[in-house]
Amino acid sequence: MSISTALCGFNGTEQRLFEGIFRVSMTRQRRYGLWSEGTDAAPDIYLVKQGKQEGVDRWRTLADRFANRDAPVLEIGDAQTQGWKGLSEQLGKETPFLLKPISATRLLDTLDALVEAHSGQPQGVMFDDDVSMEELNELDRQIQGGVASGPMRGKSALVVDDSASLRLQMDITLAKKYGMRVDFAADGATALRKLQNREYDITFLDVMLPDLDGFEICKRIRRDYQSKAPVVMMTSRDGRRDQLKGVLVQADSYLIKPVSADEIEKTLLRFLA
């Protein structure tokens, strides 16, 4: 299976980097390659460079040409471009973000997660950074009966985590099972932009992020945005020092990864019921 990927807004050096990474994927079951301008087939995935309006314009041109605006889009950049409106805002839909520097593993794993989400075959039952396809399919099967009509329906959540697979797991559970409106951020800068623009009923916040750590983000939520909505820290570390830091920045709860579905449900019932 080969997946064609259109690059939007990247220069020649960056294109060669992607070519090298895609060559690595040739040894995998799911392979990626650059989309060719000369083909009549539509790109399967679009990669758009952050901060480059010509990248967004290129995406629009191709997506309109092939009538596939619903194809997966991944924004790539450094999250520091001054005055840049996030791609999600420009496109009017939730768009994942990958922070530079790009590694082959991170890029290919993120693309895999996008393909799986788009095809309706997401990767889990434990909320962790590394889960099996069997676990994710089982989670999806468990909640195929329909969206719950309980007290969480219609509530809003922000999930801040740089793991694409964990974000997919949270999306499956929060949106499908509990009927919540969910936004996502893969780094601190994106999270702060979203928090500045709206108030969420609850925020799930990873401690270890590519730019700002979760404690700094939580501190800003309380200090700069004066938000009293619950903030739930998530981490793979269980040290008492981290839990103390969470208390100092006024976090409401602290979950240790891997987080079970039961723990997520208890947390939602505790703060939103």
**pLDDT tens-digit series, residues 37-54:** 888 899 999 999 988 889
Per-residue pLDDT tens over the stretch 184-207: 998 898 999 999 888 999 999 998
For the ranges 26-40, 69-83, 101-115, the lowest mean pLDDT is seen at 69-83
Chain centroid to CA 74: how far?
10
The three-point CA angle 232-236-231 to 5° equals: 10
Q: How confident is the model at residue 155 (pLDDT cuts 50, 70, 90)?
A: very high
Tally of CB atoms within 10 A around 256: 14
For domain 1-119, give its CATH number from 3.40.50.720, 2.40.50.140, 3.40.50.2000, 3.40.50.2300. Answer: 3.40.50.2300
Residue intervals of the chain classified under CATH 3.40.50.2300 are: 1-119, 123-273
Residue 177 DSSP symbol: I
Name the 3-class secondary structure at 151.
Answer: coil
Lookup result for tokens 């509990």: 178
Q: Single out the residue of 11, 1, 90, 78 nearest to residue 45, CA to CA.
A: 1
| pLDDT value at 35 more than 90 | yes
Q: Quick check: 170 pLDDT over 80? A: yes
Instruction: Give yes or no for a contact between 184 and 130, defined as CB atoms under 8 angstroms apart.
Output: no
* pLDDT, the chain, mean: 80
Alpha-carbon radius of gyration of the chain? 19
Query: In angstroms, rounded to a whole number, what is the distance separating the alpha carbons of residues 151 and 266?
Result: 13
Options 3.40.50.1000, 3.40.50.2300, 3.40.190.10, 3.20.20.70; CATH for 123-273 is: 3.40.50.2300
pLDDT band at 117 (very low <50, low <70, confident <90, very high): confident
